[in-house]
Amino acid sequence: MEGKVELRSENISNKILETIKESVPGVVSEGRIDFEKLRQMLGENIETGQERFGLTWPGKSEAIRNVQSPSTGTLRPAVDKSRLFVDAENVLIRGDNLEVLKLLQKSYHGKVKMIYIDPPYNTGKEFIYPDNFREGLDDYLKFSGQISGDGMKLTTNVEGDGRFHSKWLSMMYPRLFLARNLLREDGVIFVSIDDNEVHNLRSIMNEIFGEENFIANIVWQKKYSPQNDATYFSDMHDHIVVYARHAKMNKSEDTGWNRNLLPRTDEQNQRYKNPDNDPRGPWKAADLSVKTYSKSYDYPITTPSGRIVNPPNGRCWATSRERMEALIADNRIWFGTDGNNVPALKKFLSEVQGGNVPVTWWKREDCGDNQEAKQELKNLLPGVDTIFDTPKPVRLIQRMLQIATSPDEEAIVLDFFAGSGTTAQAVLAQNQEDGGNRKFILVQLPEPTDSESYPTVSDIMEERVRKVVDDYNRVREDNGESLYGFRVFSLDSSSFKTWDNSQVSTATHALEDQLRLFVDNVKPERTKEDILYELILKTGLPLTARIDSTIIEGQEVFSIGGGVLYIFLEDPIQEKTLFGMIDQGTRNVICLDSAFHGNDNLKTNIRLRMQTAGIAFRTV
């Protein structure tokens, strides 16, 4: 509706339609796609056969509909649970991640550099989900005790269930689809999984991200000791599946994800020595012979001591005679301290690339294991480690951050299966190590626990991050550095009353009650902060946008993001205040519709005045 703030999350179907219309406008007429025209435009690049390659399962259509269904919820700020709320640039969210991902579409579309998730592995004991979550926000609110109802039952997707894999796929598909929208063009996603679902995960990620954007299947050594009671093999590894938003076809391509080199270790650098005091610095000797035989590269070399040396039988030297002479003249060939050894090439540390190319085998010595992760959690929150069967160590996620993000960029890192909050700790730890400025957004369902101190997993996440932030801030304050903070939000219903269509066709008095409700459409228990952050989220500004309060003509006005948006929540509205906002330099103004008290002439006048000044004026 013109001049109204859209209180629903981004409509994914409309977004796709807009993309098609922009690319091939001729196939869209009156908001509908003419598939026959689209087929003609695509020519041979369309599948028409009955037998098609692809993944399908019972419930896939519903999973796709879950993507298309907008959310009417909001994220309410919890200042008392946050740290340094006003200046914080990190976000923790408690809520169903499907609803939250929908709500983040406007504000964070194409802005996330890296996603890491550790979803349920579907082992028969870990895949716990609230029944009927497909129904959306209402069921979540019942589950989390925010509205009355019969309560939501927790069930386990046991292996005996006939739809064992189908339920898992239906849960993952819409979340991955929405997550892809949030990635930058140079963004990347890492997903932890085990052997049980890795094949299905690869299939749905091929469908959502495109198989051309598959980067790697990393194998991580998650255990040190084998299980002697294993029926067949002792499970010692997990997979980490990696996809880019846009993978480069070659190194020279400008757009797409760039992977970083991993830092060289002290152990690697210590292998370089300088026994001949070469001014170019430390070096190490490398074999000069190769297996691929070439007769022209098979020649004798005279050492400084006068000994004649030939390549080993069946091998030859790695370079031509002329090139070898040039290397000897440049003191790049080592014949030993007495000049009598078989020649070796000197590889200088100063000429080695600045790090190591990542490999797909990640050892526990380099990245930690489940036991290390449990100990990290135990040190922060004693007793909580028993709640998590396979937590991930901080070092594991730090390695992903090193590969995927750079310290000189303000990368947003998202984890929407946040668990105990390891990703937040890894982001802060990596920032401390390399001086980076990465930010995190974590989302966790308030899944009940058996802990009296921490009733839900969300409580564990928040307390862990709180303790880590406090520990780092003590050091940073002593060093005169800026402090870390985070803002906590909770998924809830909109702060604005929604129209109940079921009442329209009933008795006249019921309809009149509905209309009276909308004289003031703000729920009475909601605060200014609740309203502000809902409007910030649903107008596409980030949850970390700065809010400043200013007084214009005696009434309070909120300036969002340095004046990008002005929000006016006073009631009644004074005409001089509205006109006063025109001179403030903003391009967007939002007011409460109810604050006009039916004065449509004033509303029309101010809209026209602001339109003339280049300001978008909306009401809610």
Query: What is the identity of the amino acid at 568?
Result: F
pLDDT band at 513 (very low <50, low <70, confident <90, very high): low
Whole-number pLDDT of residue 124:
58
Among 477, 586, 552, CA closest to 84: 477
Contact 97, 170 (CB under 8 A): no
Whole-number pLDDT of residue 389:
86
Over residues 33-56, the mean pLDDT reads 66
Whole-number pLDDT of residue 194:
94
How does pLDDT run across 5-16, given as a tens digit for each residue? 888 888 877 777
Average pLDDT, the chain: 88
Over residues 557-565, the mean pLDDT reads 95
Whole-number pLDDT of residue 289:
95
Q: Where are the alpha helices (DSSP H) in 190-298?
A: 198-209, 266-269
Residue 614 CA, distance from chain mean position: 35
Q: What element of type H or E holds 439? A: strand 439-444
How does pLDDT run across 71-105, given as a tens digit for each residue? 999 999 999 999 999 999 999 999 999 999 999 99
Residues in Cβ contact with 73 at an 8 Å cutoff, skipping those fewer than 6 apart: 9, 95, 99, 103, 137, 491, 492, 493, 494
Kindly state the DSSP code that residue 522 receives in the 8-state scheme.
Answer: B
Residues in Cβ contact with 416 at an 8 Å cutoff, skipping those fewer than 6 apart: 97, 100, 101, 115, 117, 175, 179, 442, 443
Other beta carbons within 10 angstroms of residue 227's beta carbon come to 11
Whole-number pLDDT of residue 51:
61
How does pLDDT run across 184-200, given as a tens digit for each residue? 999 999 999 999 899 99
Q: What element of type H or E holds 283? A: strand 283-287
Task: Give the tokens for residue 571.
Answer: 């009631």
Share of the chain above pLDDT 90, in %: 65
pLDDT of 269 higher than 60 = yes
Domain extent listing, the chain? 65-263+356-492, 266-351, 501-619
Q: What are phi and psi of 589, to 5 degrees?
A: -135, 135
Query: What is the identity of the amino acid at 405?
Result: T
Give CA–CA dist 497/513, Å, rounded.
13
Contact 577, 604 (CB under 8 A): no
pLDDT band at 366 (very low <50, low <70, confident <90, very high): very high
pLDDT of 253 higher than 60 = yes
Give CA–CA dist 356/269, Å, rounded.
12
CA-only gyration radius of the chain, Å: 30
Task: Give the tokens for residue 33.
Answer: 């796609």
Whole-number pLDDT of residue 130:
44
Signed CA dihedral, 62, 67, 71, 74: sign only: positive
Q: How far is CA 436 from CA 185, 196, 412, in A?
A: 21, 36, 12
- Quote the pTM value: 0.86
Give CA–CA dist 591/599, Å, rounded.
13
pLDDT of 30 higher than 80 = no
pLDDT band at 540 (very low <50, low <70, confident <90, very high): very high
By three-state DSSP, how is residue 565 classified?
strand
Whole-number pLDDT of residue 514:
45
Whole-number pLDDT of residue 424:
98
Share of the chain above pLDDT 70, in %: 86
Please identify, in words, the CATH class of the domain defined by 65-263+356-492. alpha beta
Q: What element of type H or E holds 475? A: helix 457-478
Signed CA dihedral, 48, 53, 58, 59: sign only: negative
